[in-house]
Structure 1
Amino acid sequence: MGNKRSNNWRVGRLQEIAYVVMGQSPPGSSYNTEGKGVGLINGPTEFTKKHPVVKQWTVEPKKYCENRDVLLCVRGSSTGRINISDSKYCIGRGVAAISARENMGVTDYIYYLIDHKVNNLLNCTTGSTFPNLSSAEIKGFEIKIPSLPEQQKIASILSTWDKAIQLKEKLIQQKKEQKKGLMQKLLTGEKRLPGFEGEWEEVKLGEVIKESKDKTLKHNQYPVLTSSRKGIYLQDKYFSKQVASRNNTGYKIIKEGEFTYRTMSDDGKFVFNRLADVPVGIVSPAYVVFRAVEMEPVFLEEFLNSHQFNRYIRANVQGGTRLSYKYKSLSETIVKIPSKDEQKAIADIILQSNKEIKLLQQELEQLKQQKKGLMQLLLTGKVRVKV
């Protein structure tokens, strides 16, 4: 071990530059959500950002991670997720804490290395339905080891890219919040655009939208779509495979510009999506398809997904644990809407705002791809840094 060479880098094991501590869950009675004791990191629910998001605490911690440790999910479907601790926490059974050995490893370098090689690490898991990574598998993971100064320089370069990505993400979030605040005023009439005044008209939605009931007559007549809370996607791309029933004859047909939504919800949230990038597709019969007939479609989409309209939904949903908002309820919902000219003016603002956000998202994706390419060069020794 440690006698191979690759571009003057040693090929060794993770344990040569890092310590590995496997988590141990505290007793069940010690959990709380009131902030008493030590923050508890159990796994995927806390791994939503680069640093863990603590949701539970315990007064009987068993195993700890320290500030700046690399945290790795080691059990279940989220095995391989990583982040970096920003404090001392208790780590549960689903987490391993990895810390750099003094004068041997650099924490940020270890973080980027695991992030880059996570698929290789996942190949070491045991269990098919419930994967696990053991202490021995993590410690014995084969890596390339540059000198300590080179590890520091590589980590510094990649950290700069991370900061650029974080700034772009923050800017996108700010743009979304600005749009949300403006829409709350424009979609309720609290703020009026120049040249528009007078009361908004009260209408039943069924007077300005119309259900589309066309269904497929044969299997795979059109591309299968998935309508998610983030938009409409081709199903084979969204799930990396097609998960629709073997025979999708009788699926709902949706054409470009039409709307769809799922009529059942476990949490009371209903998302209305408008098809924009595909001329025609099909969705499960569990979805409703409709189109705008006397409303500006862009305005309607924003209006239906607004906080204001959600209040109309809450007044009309049916059911107990699973809530239902069928097309009949949608069509009978009474709302106040502006004239079509004012709808169009608001829609123009929506489109401009969406365009700005989309451009920022494209720039963010470019940064992520550039970082990914840089990691491939720097973490393999294909490109060396000057120390």
Structure 2
Amino acid sequence: MSDDATLDEFVEIQDSKRNDSEESAIKSDESHPRFGKLPPEWSINEIADIAEVVGGSTPSTDNDDYWGGGIPWATPTDITALSGNTISETADTITEEGLESASTHLLPPHSVLMTSRASIGKCAVNTVEMATNQGFKNLVPEKEIETWYLYYRMLETANFLNSVGSGSTFDEVSKTEVQSVDIPIPPLPEQRKIATVLYTVDRAIEKSKEIKTQLERTHNGLIQDFLTHGIQDSETIDTGTKLGEAPSHWEIVTIENILSDEDYSFTDGARYSLSSDEIQGSGDARAILLEEVKEGEFDDSNPKFATEEKYNEITHRAIYPGEVVVAKMAEPVARACIVPDTYEKYLLGCADVVRIVPNEEIEDRFLMYCMNSHKVWRQAVAHLRGTGRSRINLENISELYIPKPPLSEQREIVSILSRIDQKIDNEQQYQDNLQRLKRGLQQDLLSGTVRTTNSNIEVPDEIAQHG
């Protein structure tokens, strides 16, 4: 199995392995309380029997001689911030003197770093020698244990570890508790094949993330370029505003200048915010909340609704598909998205979401792209007020400057950026499919429901060299 294997090939593998498992059904009548029936060739071992469990510690932060050396020193934040599942660099490093002072351990490459407090069970494989702080219970696998099998097995064990974790300030699992946890262990060749399937899917997910990140960078760069030079790299002038330069034939206007004449074309949810009792899991009108307004994207993953009665009471706070909504706070302030056509009725659900309906001289999507540019964000930041959770008010939003190209250029800009938006959406859907596939494969392979023993799976060097 290669990194270039397609989603269809992964599904075909999954189906064929399930058929194989049905033909060679598990003969043992014994059933483990956590794992159920396992293949007869598999053993169940305590972690202490198959890996050395190694903790970490922190050198004194008062001694500068302990810090800034050549030894990577991981904290749980380093693990949770990873985009992949390997780690070679850390935010902080320590010296040999720091390593000795704290009696911390230097982990060999291809250990499984596992967080053991607060976020329990987050894992990564180190590719270089590394130390960690005390927020870890790291696993150094024995000779007959494949590192990547152990990595995926510990991810699957995270929920169980969380159930046994305890602590007065935050949950934590002890070294003794980790050592005593049972995990199923297939023969080494099967460990490697299981790891190969899951590792290959992970590589595909990482490639997709890289492509999506590059598309997003291209998208954001084009917005800045278009708003400065236009489509045809036009002659520019200094606008005399925080917009900086813009094409000389474009107008510079404020949000107030481009609003529609219709009632409530520029309004927020102030004085009409829905209380927690009025926001429900189902209802007649979709309530738009602050955290759902992303940069160019509306987050519909956890929809909340208002009743028809409430909608009719504050219809003047209604929003409609295709309109622009803007966030008054959080990072970045003044970010905007388009209301999708998923529902017929929408309602401003909180005071910090703003509805903007432009007149016929401004395209909605062009306005959204303007709002999601650094040219507008740096204006908005200057207006932030309040301690703690600072916000921009409605009046200040109305004073923000945006460029106003001819409609034909607006539409051309929107067309180019929308095509990239679609590619980003497609890449995200592909990632989501791979993630669902991985969850299914992980459950089937690690439970022994789907077997890899008779499969022609080429084990990559990254896996073959371990165990």
TM-score (norm 1): 0.85
Q: Counterpart in 1 of 2:232?
A: 192
Aligned partner of 2:254: which letter? K
Aligned partner of 1:180: which letter? N
Q: 1:273 aligns with which of 316, 337, 353?
A: 337
Q: Counterpart in 1 of 2:375?
A: 308
Q: Counterpart in 2 of 1:71?
A: 113
Q: Could you say if the C-alpha distance between residues 27 and 198 of structure 1 is closer, same or farther in structure 2, counting changes exceeding 3 Å?
A: closer
Report the Cα distance in structure 2 between the residues aligned to 1:308 and 1:217, rounded to whole angstroms: 32
Query: More strand by proportion, 1 or 2?
Result: 1
Query: Cα distance, 1:226 vs. partner?
Result: 3.0
Q: 1:164 aligns with which of 191, 204, 211?
A: 204
Deviates more, 1:120-129 or 1:311-320: 311-320
Percentage of matched positions with identical amino acids = 24
Q: 2:397 aligns with which of 324, 330, 337?
A: 330
* Structural RMSD (CA): 3.3
Report the Cα distance in structure 2 between the residues aligned to 1:32 and 1:317, rounded to whole angstroms: 41
Q: Counterpart in 2 of 1:100?
A: 141
- Contact 1:68-1:84 at 8 Å conserved across structures: yes
Query: Cα distance, 1:260 vs. partner?
Result: 3.3
SS at match of 2:62: helix
Report the Cα distance in structure 2 between the residues aligned to 1:188 and 1:202, rounded to whole angstroms: 12
Larger Rg: 2
Q: Could you say if the C-alpha distance between residues 188 and 166 of structure 1 is closer, same or farther in structure 2, counting changes exceeding 3 Å?
A: same
Aligned partner of 1:16: which letter? D
- Contact 1:31-1:58 at 8 Å conserved across structures: no
Q: 2:193 aligns with which of 145, 150, 153?
A: 153
Q: Could you say if the C-alpha distance between residues 350 and 190 of structure 1 is closer, same or farther in structure 2, counting changes exceeding 3 Å?
A: closer
Report the Cα distance in structure 1 between the residues aligned to 2:451 and 2:201, rounded to whole angstroms: 17
Deviates more, 1:111-120 or 1:274-283: 274-283
Report the Cα distance in structure 2 between the residues aligned to 1:41 and 1:70, rounded to whole angstroms: 12
Are 1:131 and 2:171 counterparts? yes
Query: Cα distance, 1:272 vs. partner?
Result: 2.1
Superimposed CA distance per residue, residues 66-87 of structure 1 (whole angstroms, 9 cap, x where no aligned partner): 22111111111x2221111122
Report the Cα distance in structure 2 between the residues aligned to 1:67 and 1:321, rounded to whole angstroms: 42
Aligned partner of 1:346: which letter? I
Query: Cα distance, 1:331 vs. partner?
Result: 0.9
Report the Cα distance in structure 2 between the residues aligned to 1:156 and 1:102, rounded to whole angstroms: 18
Query: Cα distance, 1:166 vs. partner?
Result: 1.4
Report the Cα distance in structure 1 between the residues aligned to 2:274 and 2:90, rounded to whole angstroms: 51
Are 1:225 and 2:288 counterparts? yes
Structure 2, unmatched stretches of 5+, are 1-30, 235-246, 260-264, 455-467
Q: Counterpart in 2 of 1:204?
A: 254
Report the Cα distance in structure 2 between the residues aligned to 1:186 and 1:29, rounded to whole angstroms: 50
Report the Cα distance in structure 2 between the residues aligned to 1:32 and 1:184, rounded to whole angstroms: 44
Aligned partner of 2:175: which letter? S
Deviates more, 1:38-47 or 1:256-265: 256-265
Superimposed CA distance per residue, residues 177-216 of structure 1 (whole angstroms, 9 cap, x where no aligned partner): 222222221122354289xx86110112111134135747
Q: Could you say if the C-alpha distance between residues 198 and 340 of structure 1 is closer, same or farther in structure 2, counting changes exceeding 3 Å?
A: same
Query: Cα distance, 1:253 vs. partner?
Result: 4.3
Report the Cα distance in structure 2 between the residues aligned to 1:31 and 1:119, rounded to whole angstroms: 38
Aligned partner of 2:298: which letter? I
Aligned partner of 1:232: which letter? F
Q: Counterpart in 1 of 2:351?
A: 285
Q: Counterpart in 1 of 2:8?
A: none
Structure 1, unmatched stretches of 5+, are none
Report the Cα distance in structure 1 between the residues aligned to 2:403 and 2:168, rounded to whole angstroms: 54
Are 1:83 and 2:124 counterparts? yes
Superimposed CA distance per residue, residues 211-256 of structure 1 (whole angstroms, 9 cap, x where no aligned partner): 1357479934733333334643358x27xx99xxxx9998954432
Higher relative contact order (CA 8 A, sep 6+): 2
Q: Counterpart in 1 of 2:158?
A: 118
Query: Cα distance, 1:344 vs. partner?
Result: 1.4
Q: Could you say if the C-alpha distance between residues 213 and 173 of structure 1 is closer, same or farther in structure 2, counting changes exceeding 3 Å?
A: closer
TM-score (norm 2): 0.71
